[in-house]
DNA sequence: CTGTTAGCGCCTTCAA
DNA sequence: TTGAAGGCGCTAACAG
């Protein structure tokens, strides 16, 4: 691969002249300029960003650590990040942590070695283990959607509590009083926050949440299927279910159909993400849409600002979701 | 951030000694070794991989260019790539091209500037425009699932023709004779290949494919919904549909339900990816599962091999899918 | 067993 | 308008 030196030799000028032509950083005679440019083109010279980075201590690369890029929510977040990063000339290095603290630590270490300018971190389940690792690094970090207690830095997330509240409120207003909740693993902060919102809505109306109505499963279709199957088998089955995420809601819809339970006639189901395919489920899923893509963009904007030296107070913000009513929720049927 | 020089000064040795204890590349007295290590720890020194790369001309980073990380198939592919890359100590830089040749070209240029060691490229729709750009670069490239006519390099993809054939064969064996196809955009090579497989199966049985039975739409749920709605409105509606991908199949299921058409009673639907959520659709979707994760791993393995200097003949291979029969397909109902 | 030296490719004063 | 030279942080001969 051609280097700047080779280009310079071929044109018969010094490397500093070539450098200045490339970066437009000082006046160069039109003749030389033209010849340098022509030679660059001819030799297919492409500047070495690593060498450049070594000088100015900026890699124009940001690290992104998420639990799993395959999950639709993270995929959307990642997309928002990539979009915004591209616009401002940054590349992203992707790491999937899978909630494995050891793996995540190894990855972060690698990213720091490669001198990422900043990090967007979705800490996932392994968040506490990361605190020590992160402390004492000079790399700007923006926390996405998962707070890390011991790390004091910018945070932008979704308002999961409000999401749980909005979904439950919707069910209550339809007239439901026997409302159950399908939650992800107990250790998952999001589920916990959404459950808190549900509880708040329930308590406002003096409605109970029996233990049997709160079921923890894996946060995917299989988990949701399992949970709703169990709920429907209860003596006093619920008339409505709030699933903390759409994947579980979709699984729940499947379980209801297989049990011969009409949705929304005998059971209302509301999800919590508004994934694209939920809109085409049978029946079309009501859910609380989250501004995931916007979250990615905002995180990136904030991080790049910090990299460029924006001081300003630590930001701590939660973006609001929006209830989307479709066909999986309705008034409870009188018997 | 601490540098090697600072560590060396503090210990009272030369930088080369520090370098050698870090890399274990020559014998160092146990005493010095211990002191160096302690100081590294103390100063929180982390080697600068960029400086290292500048010397040995290897960044241990590979570029991944895909159309859209949000699409479940690409998400799964990406995951396979990241998994395999992590295992062999490589990082990945992700770029979403969105089928925009200009954007993709800009991204690839950026990746080359950052001196990626290799590239995994899913060329998407913009494949021809990339040919010139790629030619004349020394960067090893592995083509994933989309061949690029003018670029002669390794290729591993999925056997879309066989997928179309298998899905259609399944419908034929169930007794269907009026089989329609929901295809993605006409320009999309995958759809074309899958349609070719469908045609082969149809022709073997002397079955026709009327123009009205081949409908091109956007390759998502909305497209599939639209297509099936139109197919069901036909005078001679099909009794079975092969949707070239699962998203369209899911949309089709939705359209059938809304039209009051029983699946699989009055209409069989088979998809072509076997996304996770298809297994929990109503009814559970029959599909042709694709080894997407394995594809990602193989691509990475191949690329890393090339980076390390594996000669060997150019590889050109297609991985086979596997029909998964669930509940959305059945024998046509006699009337 | 350890240090000195010469770059890797680029940018950037300082001189001319 | 242009060049020479030093250095970013690290590795790898080459000497001791």
For the segment B220-253, what is each residue's pLDDT rounded down to a tens digit?
A: 999 999 999 999 999 999 999 999 999 999 999 9
More reliable by pLDDT, A129 or B108: B108
Q: Strand C-proximal residues, CB under 7 Å?
A: A 1, 3-5, 15-16, 19-20, 22-23, 25, 47-48, 51-52, 54-56; B 12-17, 20, 26-29, 31-33, 51, 54-55, 57
Q: Is residue B242 within 8 Å of residue B272, measured between CB atoms?
A: yes
| Domain CATH code at residue B202 | 3.40.50.2300
The two three-digit tokens of residue A239, written as one number:
């008339």
In a domain, A53, yes or no: no
Same domain, B187 and B130: no
Cβ-nearest to A75 among B75, B136, B279: B75
Q: Please tell me the predicted confidence (pLDDT) of residue B125.
A: 67
In a domain, A315, yes or no: yes
Q: Please tell me the predicted confidence (pLDDT) of residue A44.
A: 94
Share of chain A above pLDDT 90, in %: 88
Same domain, B136 and B236: no
Has residue A188 got a pLDDT over 90?
Answer: no
Q: What is the band of A167 on the pLDDT scale with cuts at 50, 70, 90?
A: very high
Same domain, A263 and A298: no
Q: Is residue B58 within 8 Å of residue B113, measured between CB atoms?
A: no
Residue pointed to by tokens 């709703």 = A228
Residue pointed to by tokens 């790049």 = A304
Q: Is residue B242 within 8 Å of residue B171, measured between CB atoms?
A: yes
Same domain, B199 and B232: yes
What's the whole-model pTM score?
Answer: 0.96
Q: Which secondary-structure segment (H or E) carries B85?
A: helix B72-87
Same domain, B250 and B231: yes
Instruction: Give residue-wise pLDDT tens across range A84-118.
Output: 999 999 999 999 999 898 999 999 999 999 999 99
Angle at A15 between CA A10 and CA A20, to 5 degrees: 115
Q: Please tell me the predicted confidence (pLDDT) of residue A60.
A: 98
Instruction: Give residue-wise pLDDT tens across range B19-72.
Output: 999 999 999 999 999 999 999 999 999 999 999 999 999 999 999 999 999 999
Q: Is residue A264 within 8 Å of residue A333, measured between CB atoms?
A: no
Same domain, B277 and B171: yes
> Which of B157, B178, B167, B196 shows the shortest CA–CA distance to B302?
B157
Same domain, B202 and B125: no
For A27, A157, B104, the CA distances from B123, given in Å and listed in that order, are 40, 33, 9
In a domain, B188, yes or no: yes
Count up the domains in chain B and report the number.
3
Q: Please tell me the predicted confidence (pLDDT) of residue B140.
A: 94
With H, G, I as helix, E, B as strand and everything else as coil, classify residue B230. Answer: helix
Same domain, A74 and A165: no
Has residue A127 got a pLDDT over 80?
Answer: no
Has residue B134 got a pLDDT over 80?
Answer: no
- Closest nucleotide (CA of A20 to C1')? C11
Q: Is residue A239 within 8 Å of residue A177, measured between CB atoms?
A: yes
Mean pLDDT value of segment A61-71: 96
For A145, A265, B53, the CA distances from A159, given in Å and listed in that order, are 9, 30, 42
A120 burial (CB, 10 Å; 0-12 / 13-18 / 19+) is: buried
Considering only residues 256 to 315 of chain B, which have any Cβ-Cβ distance to chain A shorter than 8 Å? 257, 276-277, 279-284
In a domain, B70, yes or no: yes
Angle at B320 between CA B214 and CA B310, to 5 degrees: 125
Same domain, A170 and A265: yes
The two three-digit tokens of residue B241, written as one number:
């549909």
Has residue A136 got a pLDDT over 70?
Answer: no
Give nucleotides in strand D with any atom < 7 A to a protein C-beta: 1-5, 7-13
Residue B91 CB contacts under 8 Å (≥ 6 apart), including other chains:
A93, A95, A110, A111, A114, B60, B61, B62, B85
In a domain, B308, yes or no: yes
Instruction: Give residue-wise pLDDT tens across range B182-208.
Output: 999 998 889 999 999 999 999 999 999
Range of the domain at B106: 61-158+292-320
Q: What is the band of B79 on the pLDDT scale with cuts at 50, 70, 90?
A: very high
Tell me whether strands B322-324 and A316-319 are parallel, antiparallel or unpaired: unpaired
Q: Is residue B172 within 8 Å of residue B264, measured between CB atoms?
A: no
In a domain, A329, yes or no: no
Inter-chain CB proximity A257 and B282 less than 8 Å:
yes
Residue pointed to by tokens 């509301």 = A270
In a domain, A326, yes or no: no
Same domain, A279 and A300: no
In a domain, A334, yes or no: no
Same domain, A87 and A150: yes
Q: Is residue B325 within 8 Å of residue B172, measured between CB atoms?
A: no
- Give how far the C-alpha of residue A286 lies from the chain's centroid of Cα atoms, to the nearest Å: 21
DSSP B47: -
Residue pointed to by tokens 């396979």 = B80
The two three-digit tokens of residue A131, written as one number:
């605190």
CA distance A265 to B27: 76
Q: Please tell me the predicted confidence (pLDDT) of residue A240.
A: 98
Same domain, A201 and A101: no
Has residue B301 got a pLDDT over 90?
Answer: yes
Mean pLDDT value of segment A289-293: 98
Has residue A4 got a pLDDT over 80?
Answer: yes
Instruction: Give residue-wise pLDDT tens across range B164-181.
Output: 999 999 999 999 999 999
């Amino acid at each position: 691969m051609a280097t700047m030196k080779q280009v310079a030799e071929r044109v018969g000028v010094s490397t500093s002249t070539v450098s200045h032509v490339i970066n437009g950083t000082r006046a160069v005679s039109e003749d030389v300029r033209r010849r340098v440019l022509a030679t660059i083109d001819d030799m297919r010279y492409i500047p070495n960003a690593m060498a450049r980075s070594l000088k100015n201590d900026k890699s124009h690369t940001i690290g992104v650590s998420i639990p799993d890029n395959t999950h639709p929510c993270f995929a959307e977040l990642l997309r928002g990040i990539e979009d915004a990063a591209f616009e401002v000339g940054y590349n992203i290095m992707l790491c999937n942590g899978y909630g494995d603290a050891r793996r995540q630590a190894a990855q972060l270490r690698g990213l720091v070695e490669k001198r990422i300018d900043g990090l967007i971190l979705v800490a996932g389940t392994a968040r506490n283990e990361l605190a020590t690792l992160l402390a004492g690094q000079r790399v700007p970090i923006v926390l996405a959607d998962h707070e890390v207690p011991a790390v004091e830095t910018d945070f932008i997330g979704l308002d999961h509590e409000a999401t749980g509240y909005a979904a439950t409120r919707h069910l209550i207003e339809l007239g439901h009083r026997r409302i159950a909740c399908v939650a992800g693993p107990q250790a998952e902060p999001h589920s916990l926050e959404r459950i808190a919102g549900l509880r708040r809505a329930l308590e406002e109306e003096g409605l109970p949440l029996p233990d049997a109505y709160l079921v923890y499963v894996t946060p995917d279709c299989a988990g949701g299927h399992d949970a709703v199957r169990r709920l429907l088998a209860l003596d006093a089955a619920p008339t409505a279910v709030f699933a903390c995420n759409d994947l579980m809601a979709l699984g729940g819809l499947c379980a209801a159909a297989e049990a011969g339970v009409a949705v929304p006639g005998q059971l209302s189901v509301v999800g919590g993400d508004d994934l694209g395919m939920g809109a085409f489920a049978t029946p079309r899923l009501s859910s609380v849409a989250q501004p995931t893509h916007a979250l990615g963009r905002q995180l990136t904007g904030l991080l790049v600002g910090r990299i460029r030296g924006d001081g300003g107070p630590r930001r701590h913000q939660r973006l609001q979701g929006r209830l989307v009513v479709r066909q999986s929720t309705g008034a409870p049927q009188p018997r």
